[in-house]
Structure 1
Amino acid sequence: MTTILASASPGERRTVLVDDDGNLVELHIERPGRPDGVGDLHRARVSALAPAMAGAFLAMAGGETGFLPESAVGPARQPIGRSVSEGQMLAVRITRAAQGGKGPRLTARLTPEEATRIAAAPGTGPALIARGPDAATRLARAHLGAAIRTDSPSLAARLRIPLSHRPVLDDALEAELDLLAGPEVPLPGGGRLLVHPTPALTAIDVDAGSAAGTRDPQAQLRLNQAAVAEAARQIRLRNLAGPILLDLAGLTVKRREALAEPLRAALATDPLAQLRGLGPLGLFEILRQRIQPPLHEVLGWPPSPLTHGLAALRRAAREAAARPGRRWALRAHPAVLGALRDLPGALAEAEAALGTPLHLHPDPALAPAQSEIEEAAHG
């Protein structure tokens, strides 16, 4: 049975979709203190028309600026100036998270329920009316009948499901999630994928490893067949978006063409991905729609001080659950502690999980990935 596992830890929510065979299919990492905004309902003011960009800029609550394409308001192919005017207040929903210094993408095409909810909200200026659904809710809607397990009391209450009093992510899943934070993915039988995100595109390279020196053409083909399947899986797991280039290992262009259909089939279960073909340089070209931020933007690439800090808070919560009644301290690089202080709610959630204050000890000698959880001295 398809299963949704939603794990809560201080400052972070990790939600995974697991298929009938126990394989990880989707991963969503959310930081409630800094939501990506997708699905949020807003009342916003048109601040500037942008006919050359076929849209308009809208001033939103908190000083953020969103972009409304003309295709997301008014009749199809109607110029933006005929649909809205500067200064006009609009009811909108965020359809794509902000990226690369650009604000979120908006739509004014709302359901009757959404429009009514925004119209009934008090006030007249730009305002956030309601937050969008979290990952667990989105997955539950998309996979009706899926089993749902969570160790989050608030999510269990909202979804009206039993609360798991044990972590819902086992050691094997935790190890796989750790791999997703890095660029290397081992392939069965040897070799690896190397994932290289850039601001413009993502490159995925197949490293043949020990198979590079073999004279067996079938071994090389088997490696690339495995790489095609795993690349499609990694694209979805990492929520990669925009142009994606896949470079196979050691095959002529003609032999690569034979892998186009297996790649297309592997991508078929991902509703956001589309194989565009094999380019003149022998690279498979994939385009994947962006909605939520890719995993590497959430975690940082390499992982950010905040990512290391939240991992340390997870360890602290596990230590406290295993050895209750003790006081705990986190020793970490100053950048890690600063990032935790800057994330709303993270340290408060940690102290609630521990049942006691968490003592923070800055230690510049530690690398960001070397945070230590230790018992605090009583005094």
Structure 2
Amino acid sequence: MSEEILINVTPQETRVAVVENGVLQEVHIERASHRGLVGNIYKGRVSRFLPGMQAAFVDIGLERTAFLQTAEMKAGGVAALVEGQDLTVQVVKDPIGTKGARLTTQVSLPARYVVYMPTSDHIGISQKIDNEEERLRLRAAVRSAMGDEPGGFILRTMAEQVSEEELKRDICYLRKLWQRVSERMHEPDRHGLIHEDLSLVLRAMRDLVRDNIEKVRIDSREMYIKAQEFALEFVPDVAPRIEYYPGERPIFDLYSVEDEIKRALDRRVALKSGGYLVIDQTEAMTTVDVNTGTYVGHRNLAETIFKTNLEAAHAIARQLRLRNLGGMIIVDFIDMGDPDHKRQVLRALERALARDRVKASIADMSALGLVEITRKRTRESLEHLLCETCPACKGRGVLKTPETVAYEIFREILREARQFGTDEYLVVASQVVVDRLSDDQAQSLARLQEFIGKPIHLQVEPLYNQEEYEVVLT
């Protein structure tokens, strides 16, 4: 499978696209105005401790106080907290919506192959490395490289088949980095940020470039040079694959990445067969509805449904990665009567999700064809990052019809007529509502004027949306 990473750099934002066989799979975006916080280490101060919630709010110098749970305190060796106490913490989840950043006191520093945990003595290995012999080799290699110095390590998936010398280089780098962080931690008057994680481009070099990545193309010469320097020092096997892209054609126009990003903001996702998905994000969960659409198949209804669901399983896994959807996801597959068809669709979904770098787990399909997926939420979804709530519909996704608004206006006029005395009324509304009042509802408006005994005038306000109006007493 051919994979490339395309990196678009501008002064305002950096975008990283992971492309497999010419198809966009992942998008990572970092804006200069608000970089992600995950991995950053802060010296904070406990502003409020909530025993009932077994949690604390910690001021780390951000707009909103961050949140620390008791389990995360114990993991980092912190026994108890009091308000006003200074504390070294690390961000494990960016602020999302109205929620502040999520913290831990168990600080960890990642490199390409290992993650260093200074306050632990544990050696862990990624579950995706399932060969027992390789797991034993890696554990022994890390113990040898550690020597007698304290600390624990987790071996990442990319550590599989890596030499002891490469692991040792990672460990040495992380210990030097921790020494620098420790010095800042112990400065008596220092509060706020004491260590910032790498920029998006360098994180991509560290985390996204795997053996199957053929090229990394960067359209900024300055960032290309920085990426090369970083790669030569920390991930030398990546350096030969990094290329500067000087083309006049925007780099994200290759493989139609820009178009794919736009489509990833749509509710409806077309399937090649003629079927389609409908994806809806809510605060509590994301729902995915599978539909046959225009696909009628060549055999019978059961076969048509099965083929549509199979295609949908692969499309859903890609959309979760592309849109970075996390938390609870409910997939409503088209009902299948054949138990074997259900098993095959579920296995297809599991295989497709196995290629996702973000951990996801799947529950069995219910009798109604519903499948529950939980995918780790680490950052804002693409929609929340690039979009905002519609000011007209306030996030409902629908607007009241002009007829509904016209009836609301009639009720408002009656309400005003009963409470206040006035000579006449002026209705200020959008063009479409005024048109409805002047045309279809003209008789109703005339009867209302006769009932209240006062004239009603209409005025168009071009800046009003369909639901906005005013009833002015004149």
TM-score higher than 0.5: yes
Give 1:288-303 correspondences, 5 Å limit: 288-300=375-387
Distance 1:115 1:71, change over 3 A: farther
Measured against aligned partners, the alpha-carbon deviations of 1:93-117 in whole angstroms (never above 9, x if no partner) come to 2111112311111122224556543
Unaligned runs of at least 5 residues, structure 2: 109-117, 119-174, 229-241, 392-461, 466-474
Distance 1:180 1:227, change over 3 A: same
Distance 1:216 1:14, change over 3 A: same
2:217 to 125, 141, 149: 149
Q: Secondary structure at the match of 2:252?
A: coil
Structure 1 position 89, deviation (Å): 1.7
Give 1:194-343 correspondences, 5 Å limit: 194-211=278-295, 215-252=300-337, 254=339, 255-270=341-356, 271-279=358-366, 281-300=368-387
Could you tell me how far apart the structure 1 residues matched to 2:193 and 2:338 are?
51
Q: Is the 8 A contact 1:267 1:275 kept in 2?
A: no
Distance 1:73 1:303, change over 3 A: same
Give 1:106-185 correspondences, 5 Å limit: 106-111=103-108, 112=118, 113=175, 115-121=178-184, 124-142=189-207, 143-145=209-211, 146=213, 147-160=215-228, 161-166=242-247, 167-171=250-254, 172-185=256-269
Q: Is the 8 A contact 1:45 1:125 kept in 2?
A: no
Unaligned runs of at least 5 residues, structure 1: 305-363, 368-379
Q: Secondary structure at the match of 1:86?
A: coil
Distance 1:134 1:194, change over 3 A: farther
Higher mean alpha-carbon deviation, 51-60 vs 91-100, is at 51-60
Which one-letter code corresponds to 2:22 in the other structure? G
Q: Secondary structure at the match of 1:99?
A: coil
TM-score, length of structure 2 as denominator length: 0.58
Match of 2:91 in 1: 94
Could you tell me how far apart the structure 2 residues matched to 1:202 and 1:66 are?
25
Distance 1:41 1:98, change over 3 A: same
Which one-letter code corresponds to 1:102 in the other structure? K
Could you tell me how far apart the structure 2 residues matched to 1:274 and 1:7 are?
32
Q: Is the 8 A contact 2:66 2:101 kept in 1?
A: yes
Q: Secondary structure at the match of 2:46?
A: strand
Number of residue-to-residue matches in the alignment: 303
Distance 1:253 1:299, change over 3 A: farther
Distance 1:280 1:53, change over 3 A: farther
Q: Secondary structure at the match of 1:52?
A: coil
Aligned CA RMSD, in angstroms, stands at 2.8
Structure 1 position 282, deviation (Å): 2.7
Distance 1:59 1:253, change over 3 A: farther
Q: Is the 8 A contact 2:75 2:105 kept in 1?
A: no
Q: Is the 8 A contact 1:91 1:115 kept in 2?
A: no
Q: Secondary structure at the match of 2:284?
A: coil
Match of 2:37 in 1: 37
Q: Secondary structure at the match of 1:48?
A: strand
Measured against aligned partners, the alpha-carbon deviations of 1:212-257 in whole angstroms (never above 9, x if no partner) come to 6984422221111000110011001111010001111243484434
The structure, 1 or 2, with the larger RCO (C-alpha pairs under 8 Å, 6+ apart) is 1
